[in-house]
């Protein structure tokens, strides 16, 4: 598979990640009103997304090291997409918290795995391109938020929107699957370690001499 195809596939993962997360956030006020919970209760429930994200991080690195970033990226991305409608549909605060816990876990696992994929593409490219992937995550977030606003303005239901977004996102991930980099466990381990090092130290260099982030 060509380097360009691999770069486009990884770029698609970053874009989908940003778009899916941004598609949930605008519905927080609607979910709060539907469940009839106060600000304090809502804040506690939303905290579970961060708990899920932090709790999954150690396992994400181990999964990438053991199974490879390609497999983990695809499973986490599909999980994130297909979990998107659940918080919007959750009938109770408890189920909302549980849905956000799982949503956050998929999100952070995808974060680790797709950054490991990005490191592999950057290594093959031979020059720093990591910032372009992160820019696509931000662009996906802007696109997801903007589309949600347009959907609300057009009077389209929230459930229809998040289900459609989940299906489109999952389709993009499956299309990108073939072009994702598949390397040995040791290489994926090095890429995952580089990502973790860059997160803890912004000056950590990548294998190409550039920063991992």
32-79: pLDDT as tens digits: 999 999 999 999 999 999 999 999 998 998 999 899 999 999 999 999
Question: Does residue 126 lie within any of the structural domains?
Answer: yes
pLDDT greater than 80 at residue 182: no
CATH number of residue 92's parent domain? 1.20.1250.20
Residue 46 within any structural domain of the chain: yes
Domain count, the chain: 1
Name the burial class of residue 13, with classes exposed (0-12), middle (13-18) and buried (19+) by CB atoms within 10 angstroms of its CB. buried
Which domain range does residue 116 map to? 3-200
Does residue 134 or residue 193 have the better pLDDT?
A: 134
Distance CA 26, CA 174 (A): 26
Residue 52 lies in a domain: yes
Range 154-163 average pLDDT: 93
Measured between alpha carbons, how far is 149 from 142 in angstroms, rounded to an integer? 11
Within a 13 Å sphere around the CA of 106, how many CA atoms are in the beta-carbon half? Answer: 23
What percent of the chain is helix, strand and coil (3-state, nearest 5)?
A: 80, 0, 15
Cα Rg for the chain, rounded, in angstroms?
A: 17
Any domain includes 62:
yes
191 vs 188: CA distance, rounded Å: 5
Average pLDDT estimate for 174-200: 62
For residue 127, tell me if it sits in a domain.
yes
Q: What is the pLDDT of residues 95-128, one digit of tens each?
A: 999 999 999 999 999 999 999 999 989 888 888 8
pLDDT reported for residue 152: 87
Judged against a pLDDT cut of 70, whether residue 183 lies above it is answered with no
Arithmetic mean of pLDDT, 191-199: 50
Which residues face 190 on adjacent strands?
A: none
- pLDDT above 60: residue 187: no
């Amino acid at each position: 598979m060509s380097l360009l195809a691999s770069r486009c596939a990884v770029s698609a993962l970053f874009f989908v990640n940003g778009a899916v997360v941004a598609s949930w956030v605008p519905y927080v006020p609607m979910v709060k009103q539907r469940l009839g919970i106060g600000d304090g209760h809502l804040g506690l429930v939303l905290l579970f997304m961060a708990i899920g994200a932090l709790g999954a991080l150690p396992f994400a690195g181990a999964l990438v090291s053991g199974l490879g970033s390609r497999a983990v990226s695809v499973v986490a991305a599909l999980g994130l997409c297909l979990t998107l409608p659940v918080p919007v549909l959750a009938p109770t605060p408890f189920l909302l918290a549980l849905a956000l816990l799982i949503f956050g876990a998929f999100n952070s696992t995808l974060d680790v795995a797709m950054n490991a994929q990005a490191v592999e593409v950057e290594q093959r490219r031979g020059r720093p391109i990591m910032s372009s992937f992160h820019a696509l995550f931000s662009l996906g977030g802007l696109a997801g938020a903007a589309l949600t606003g347009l959907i609300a303005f057009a009077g389209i239901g929230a459930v229809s929107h998040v289900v459609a977004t989940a299906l489109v996102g999952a389709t993009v991930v499956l299309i990108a699957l073939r072009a994702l980099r598949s390397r040995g466990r040791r290489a994926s381990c090095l890429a995952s370690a580089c990502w973790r090092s860059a997160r803890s130290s912004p000056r950590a260099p990548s294998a190409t001499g550039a920063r991992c982030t």
